[in-house]
Amino acid sequence: MSRPSLLHSLASLSLLCAFLPAQAAPQEMPAAMPRAEIEAGLKSRDHALFIKEGWIRDPYITLGPDDVYYLTGTTPNPGDPREHNDPFNIGLGEDSIVGGTVQIWKSKDLIDWEPLDPPFTMKDSWHKEPGDLVWAPEIHWIPEMNRWALVHCPEPKANFALSAGSDLSGPWTHPMGPRLGRKHDPSIFHDGNHWWMLWSNTLIAPLSKDLSRFTAKPVRIDPSGSRPGPNGQPISRIGHEGATMIKVGDLYVHLGTAWSTDRMRQGSYNLYYCTSRSITGPYGPRKFAGRFLGHGTPFQTRDGQWWCTAFFNANVPPLPRKDIESRDLGETAQTINLRGTTIVPMEVKLDEAGEVAIRALDPAYATPGPDESETF
């Protein structure tokens, strides 16, 4: 199917879903784009690519030491029938589809995805009462240990675990154990000879070489300045969740997630960033990275190009792309992302002034909408 005909079909399905009650929504979700279309899009880097179907939030992609891509995220337990009979479950509340298993897939080309045996469940947790939910898992290769690190939340049951060896498998060990404490959306970042942990949008602290403890008290890394909050109070934080970090040249890039309106589940779920020459700050002003990219993972393909993951996070079925740049979405949580894993090409560069410039290359993701609470 050509790209225009595929987009027309997806838009038609989205429009149909939008006018049907949730219980009557079509149960057949769009399949991932065909191989030829993804291959062409990986080369052209001018539009988003829907690379994998399946209920997921917070998709995380990394290129492993074996030159293979790994994908994980917030998922149901394997085989949960609600993937089919409740396809637009938002993952929140008593009816949440979110499970207690870390699901991981691997791919050589970002097209064909092979599931691994689930390597971690909450039974592998260090908690005596581990709970039954895994949110926002990330996996990081620790070259000096020849092992993988896994972090996840929710905050009261967060884990920071190390694989038994170079494979993504247990038995898992917990270098920090209860010293980890409560951590919302933990992420780790490697800088030179040190690992750092970020959490709670955003605190950051360095880890010891054996990853068993923090070696300094955490500090906040808010962007400079503030924006007007919905209740009249100024907001200085970058967002409310999904903190992560990359490095571009000598600059640290702190990324965070927020709703465009700064009201929970109203508007679009977006990605923002700020930069500093020191990992602990001070950081410059908050900047816009991409619409509908909230809690996405900026990652590099093996050719060095930047992409960001994206996913369905809304209170209504996906919207059609047509004229989305000019649509005010502030009434409720809305997105153009299909249910599954989408990747969006990103421009990540140093501009003439030596500052980091980041922006989505797909026009539907590249500009803030009319519902944006801050002017960029």
State the Cα–Cα distance between residues 309 and 293, nearest whole angstrom. Answer: 7
What is the predicted pLDDT for the residue at 15? 39
State the Cα–Cα distance between residues 359 and 375, nearest whole angstrom. Answer: 15
Fold for 3-224+235-366, please state it: Tachylectin-2; Chain A (2.115.10)
- Cβ–Cβ under 8 Å, residues 106 and 113: yes
Average pLDDT over residues 10-22: 41
pLDDT at 312 over 70: yes
Query: Which secondary-structure segment (H or E) carries 38?
Result: helix 35-44
DSSP state of 214: B
What is the predicted pLDDT for the residue at 28? 83
Q: Which amino acid is at 129?
A: E
Query: pLDDT by residue (tens digit) across 182-235?
Result: 999 999 999 998 999 999 999 999 999 999 999 999 999 999 999 999 999 999
State the Cα–Cα distance between residues 116 and 64, nearest whole angstrom. Answer: 14
The answer for residues whose C-beta is within 8 angstroms of residue 175's C-beta and 6 or more apart is 160, 162, 210, 211, 212
What torsion, rounded to 10 degrees, do the Cα atoms 228, 230, 233, 234 define? -30
Q: Is the peptide bond before 171 cis (omega within 30 degrees of 0)?
A: yes
pTM to 2 decimal places: 0.93
Q: In 3-state terms, the chain is what percent helix, strand and coil (to 5)?
A: 15, 35, 55
What is the predicted pLDDT for the residue at 24? 42
Mean pLDDT (the chain) is: 93
Query: pLDDT by residue (tens digit) across 245-288?
Result: 999 999 999 999 999 999 999 999 999 999 999 999 999 999 99
Residue-by-residue DSSP string for 243-296: EEEEEETTEEEEEEEEETTSSTTSB-EEEEEEEESSTT----B-EEEETT-TT-
- Cβ–Cβ under 8 Å, residues 256 and 374: no
Average pLDDT over residues 105-133: 98
Query: pLDDT by residue (tens digit) across 329-350?
Result: 999 999 999 999 999 999 999 9
State the Cα–Cα distance between residues 174 and 133, nearest whole angstrom. Answer: 18
DSSP state of 181: -
* 16-23 long-range Cβ contacts below 8 angstroms, 24+ apart: 17/88, 17/317, 17/318, 18/316, 18/317, 18/319, 22/88
State the Cα–Cα distance between residues 185 and 372, nearest whole angstrom. Answer: 24
Closest-CA residue to 129 (of 157, 101, 102, 152): 157
What is the predicted pLDDT for the residue at 342? 99
Rg for the chain (alpha carbons), in Å? 20
Q: How confident is the model at residue 98 (pLDDT cuts 50, 70, 90)?
A: very high
The answer for residues whose C-beta is within 8 angstroms of residue 124's C-beta and 6 or more apart is 159, 161, 170, 171, 172
Indicate the domain borders of the chain: 3-224+235-366
pLDDT at 25 over 80: no
What is the predicted pLDDT for the residue at 338? 98
